């Protein structure tokens, strides 16, 4: 089983980016000019691929931590 703390962090990150995207859509009704467009391009658009890469990395980290835990448990049982 994947490391629970890392998985929880991954879920929080996904939830946070979803909430940001949902709220960003709401701003369009009152803020729809070139400044908004530049802000979106500069700060928000790069978040999606960055969060995706972070989630992949966090899953890999959870797998490594689980393997370390199993290896340490196996060694302690042999002693």
For the stretch 20-37, pLDDT in tens is 999 999 999 999 999 999
Looking at residue 51, its pLDDT comes to 97
For residues 1 and 63, the answer to whether their CB atoms sit within 8 Å is no
CA 46, distance to chain mean position in Å, is 13
Question: In whole angstroms, how far apart are CA 15 and each of 3, 4, 26?
Answer: 18, 16, 17
pTM given for the model: 0.78
Between 52 and 79, the higher pLDDT residue: 52
Looking at residue 3, its pLDDT comes to 80
């Amino acid at each position: 089983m994947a490391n629970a703390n890392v998985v929880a962090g991954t879920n929080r990150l996904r939830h946070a980016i979803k909430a940001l995207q949902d709220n960003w859509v709401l701003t369009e009704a009152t803020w729809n000019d070139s400044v908004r467009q530049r802000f979106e391009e500069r700060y928000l658009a790069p978040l999606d691929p960055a969060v995706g890469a972070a989630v992949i990395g966090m899953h890999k980290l959870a797998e490594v931590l689980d393997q370390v835990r199993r290896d340490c448990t196996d060694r302690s049982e042999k002693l």
